[in-house]
Amino acid sequence: MFSTRQPVALGMSETDADGPVSRRGFLRTAAGTAAVAGASGTAAAQEGNSSSGGGGGGSTKTVEVGAGSGTSFAPEETTIAPGGTVVWEWTGEGGAHNVVADDGAFNSGSPEEGSGITFEHTFQETGEFAYHCAPHEAVGMVGTIVVQEGGASSGGGESSGPAVPNSAKTLGIAAMSFMLSTLGLAYVFMKYGGDYDNALEE
């Protein structure tokens, strides 16, 4: 003969499964399931946070050299935190360019023409650092680096702070929804004590 024995739910003993669903047995099961769902959502969020790259040493911002008509820096003003690095990248437009600080703090050297050329400088102190392209300063090819505590998003370069992937957000929302549903069922069992006969009589 085939066995008609019912499967035992997670967190319930065989004695609990043989009789009507008890309040204690259900709450044990609900608590265990909610804990698993919560842990899954937390792990997904942590995985999303750990996926952002970049070691210590501050953020990095990129400035295009030869933007627009070929005689501009883009963005013209860049804000960064102390310890951050600015990378100037030649677009290949507008002829030969260079990057020269007005106060002589940094200098990329002789003007160069072509794309893929880069020059970088790390700023350790706060302040405003104006710079220009020597061959095109007369036509307004100038820029400014603002170094301040906390930095700022000035359009261009890499954004600071980790980004959470959509998959982690979705798992987190699903886990929260499941936990709320479990709490709703717990309320029903708390109200009727897990005795379906009494619930029907009421």
pLDDT of residue 48: 40
pLDDT of residue 189: 67
pLDDT bucket at 184, cuts 50 / 70 / 90: confident
Higher pLDDT, 80 or 181: 80
List pLDDT tens digits, range 43-100. 443 444 433 333 335 799 999 999 999 999 999 999 999 999 999 999 999 999 999 9
What are the structural domain ranges in the chain?
16-52+166-201, 60-147
pLDDT of residue 182: 77
Q: What is the dihedral of CA 49, 55, 61, 65, to 10 degrees?
A: -130
- Bridge partner list, 80: 147
Q: What is the DSSP string of 53-91?
A: ---SS--EEEEEEEETTTTEEESSEEEE-TTEEEEEEEE
3-state secondary structure of 101: strand
List pLDDT tens digits, range 14-47. 444 444 445 555 556 555 555 554 554 444 434 4
3-state secondary structure of 53: coil
- Rounded to an integer, the average pLDDT of 106-116 is 96
pLDDT of residue 166: 61
Pairing of strands 115-123, 72-74: unpaired
How far apart, in whole angstroms, are the C-alpha atoms of residue 202 and residue 199?
A: 5
Tell me if 129 sits within 8 A of 61, measured CB to CB.
Answer: no
Which alpha helices (H) appear in 23-87, and where do they start and end?
23-50
DSSP at 76:
S
Q: Which residue is listed with tokens 């002589």?
A: 104
- Bridge partner list, 53: none
Tell me if 152 sits within 8 A of 59, measured CB to CB.
Answer: no
- Bridge partner list, 122: 85
> Which architecture, in CATH terms, is 60-147?
Sandwich (2.60)
Does 169 have pLDDT greater than 70?
Answer: no
